[in-house]
């Protein structure tokens, strides 16, 4: 089976952070002892972790194994992976990994680990499909996610975007300085867009770029002239996007132009203009269907 390693901008989190997340997820699922495991306890157990890929999930990609392995590790178990992270998942049932450890650990971590793999693999698969669509059109720009993620699970979803070949985009409000439509609505009271951009740049320091969300050519040209590093053209039609991005690049060749707003896999080719550098898609996370995984305990 061919192996596509995770994108270089999406390495797995540090081990201590993986363990911390694993503990929090296990605490959520089992805040009290589970009486069903009382009689099983430390019984040595082996189980197969299976993917179950249906006909509608062609191009599925495995993602989330560092997080799932951390869950089983905190539960006192060992995981041996049969399919590497980032690899295609074959159709039908396939053994993804083998889990060994005490029964309480294997069964206690089961559902959390399966949920992680299902969600992360769904996001990575959606990202891989979007990147595939873009490359098939001959477009070499960046396909990115957005901040439309699940509270408490953002780190895993951002990581999964990278496994699928997409850029995770900013991790949170403390990263890229993004001035959105509501910032623009308040800009007049703060002295205008130029003052807002200058203020954000001073507060954020020299290491951070400033991006401004714009809904028209006038707003975009104003933001670029005021010193924005990136202009996000939001909810423009494909025709408007091509025209505005061409005007922006003609006036500001070094500017990064990002397109976003309701872009789906089916409509993505329409937004891949020659003057667009980035296309960000919220559907890569909030619209990604989860994949199906299960755990089967083997006979002693």
Query: Is residue 5 pLDDT above 70, yes or no?
Result: no
Which residues, including other chains, have CB under 8 Å from residue 176's CB and lie 6 or more apart? 169, 170, 208, 209, 210, 211, 230
pLDDT score, position 36? 79
Are 192 and 271 in the same domain? yes
Query: Is residue 151 pLDDT above 60, yes or no?
Result: yes
In degrees and rounded to multiples of 5, residue 17 shows phi and psi of -75, -40
User: Which residues are part of the catalytic machinery?
Assistant: 148
- Give a yes or no: residue 167 inside a domain: no
Are 237 and 293 in the same domain? no
Query: Is residue 9 pLDDT above 90, yes or no?
Result: no
pLDDT score, position 38? 74
Q: How far is CA 180 from CA 125, 184, 231, 233, in A?
A: 29, 6, 10, 11
Are 256 and 292 in the same domain? no
Which residues, including other chains, have CB under 8 Å from residue 97's CB and lie 6 or more apart? 48, 49, 65, 79, 80, 81, 82, 83
CB atoms inside a 10 Å sphere around CB 23: 14
pLDDT score, position 4? 42
Pairwise pLDDT comparison (195 vs 121), residue with the higher score? 121
1 falls in which pLDDT band (50, 70, 90)? Answer: very low
Are 97 and 44 in the same domain? yes
pLDDT score, position 194? 82
Quote the Cα angle for 274-167-197, to 5°: 75
Longest dimension (CA), the chain: 73
Are 268 and 292 in the same domain? no
- Give a yes or no: residue 265 inside a domain: yes
Are 270 and 293 in the same domain? no
Are 221 and 269 in the same domain? yes
108 falls in which pLDDT band (50, 70, 90)? Answer: very high
Domain that holds residue 200: 176-281
Query: Is residue 2 pLDDT above 70, yes or no?
Result: no
pLDDT score, position 199? 85
Are 196 and 128 in the same domain? no
131 falls in which pLDDT band (50, 70, 90)? Answer: very high
- Give a yes or no: residue 68 inside a domain: yes
- The span from the CA of 234 to the CA of 95, in Å, is 43
- Give a yes or no: residue 221 inside a domain: yes
Q: What is the pLDDT of residues 164-222, one digit of tens each?
A: 999 999 888 877 889 888 887 777 676 777 888 888 888 888 888 999 999 999 999 99
- The span from the CA of 284 to the CA of 280, in Å, is 9
pLDDT score, position 6? 44
Are 114 and 43 in the same domain? yes
Are 122 and 180 in the same domain? no
- Give a yes or no: residue 187 inside a domain: yes
Query: Is residue 19 pLDDT above 80, yes or no?
Result: yes
Express as a percent the part of the chain with pLDDT over 70.
95
Are 226 and 247 in the same domain? yes
CATH of the domain at 25: 3.90.1170.20
- Give a yes or no: residue 29 inside a domain: yes
Which residues, including other chains, have CB under 8 Å from residue 221's CB and lie 6 or more apart? 247, 248, 251
For the chain, how many structural domains are there in total? 2
Q: What is the pLDDT of residues 242-294, one digit of tens each?
A: 999 999 999 999 999 999 999 999 999 999 999 999 999 999 999 999 999 99
- Give a yes or no: residue 204 inside a domain: yes
Are 126 and 183 in the same domain? no
159 falls in which pLDDT band (50, 70, 90)? Answer: very high
DSSP string computed for the chain: ----PPPTT-PPPPHHHHHHHHHHHHHHH-SS--GGGTTTTT-EEEEEEEEEE-GGGTT-B---HHHHHHHHHHTT-EEEESS-TTPBPPSEEEEEEEEEEEHHHHHHHHHHHHHHHHHHHHHHHHHHHHHHHHHHTT--SEEE--S---TT-HHHHHHHHHHTT-B---SSTTSSEEE-HHHHHHHGGGT-HHHHHHHHHHHH-TTS-EEEEESSHHHHHHHHHTT-SEEEEES--HHHHHHHHHHHHHH-TT-EEEEESS--TTTGGGG--TT--EEE-THHHHTPPPPEEEEEEPP-
């Amino acid at each position: 089976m061919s192996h596509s390693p995770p994108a270089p901008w999406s390495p797995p989190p540090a081990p201590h952070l993986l363990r911390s997340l694993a503990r929090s997820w296990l605490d959520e699922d089992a805040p009290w002892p589970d009486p069903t495991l009382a009689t099983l306890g430390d019984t040595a157990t082996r189980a197969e972790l299976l993917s179950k890929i249906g006909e509608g999930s062609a191009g599925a990609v495995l993602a989330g194994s560092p997080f799932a392995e951390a869950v089983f590790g905190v539960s006192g178990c060992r995981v041996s992976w049969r399919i590497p992270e980032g690899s295609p998942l074959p159709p039908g049932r396939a053994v993804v990994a083998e889990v060994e450890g005490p029964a309480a650990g294997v069964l206690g971590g089961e559902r959390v680990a399966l949920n992680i793999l299902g969600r992360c693999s769904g996001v990575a698969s959606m990202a891989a499909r979007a990147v595939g669509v873009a490359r098939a059109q001959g477009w070499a720009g960046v396909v990115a996610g957005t901040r439309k993620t699940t509270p408490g699970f953002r780190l895993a979803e951002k990581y999964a975007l990278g496994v699928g070949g997409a850029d995770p985009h900013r991790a949170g409000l403390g990263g890229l300085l993004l001035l959105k439509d509501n910032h623009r609505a308040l800009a007049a009271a703060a002295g205008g867009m130029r003052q807002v951009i200058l203020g954000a740049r001073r507060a954020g320091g020299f290491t951070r770029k400033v991006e401004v969300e714009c809904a028209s050519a006038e707003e975009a040209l104003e933001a670029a002239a005021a010193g924005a590093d990136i202009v996000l053209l939001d909810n423009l039609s494909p025709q408007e996007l091509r025209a505005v991005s061409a005007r922006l690049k003609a006036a500001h060749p070094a500017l990064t132009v990002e397109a976003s707003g309701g872009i789906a896999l089916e409509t993505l080719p329409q937004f891949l203009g020659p003057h667009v550098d980035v296309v960000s898609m919220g559907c890569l996370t909030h619209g990604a269907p989860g994949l199906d995984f299960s755990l089967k305990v083997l006979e002693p």
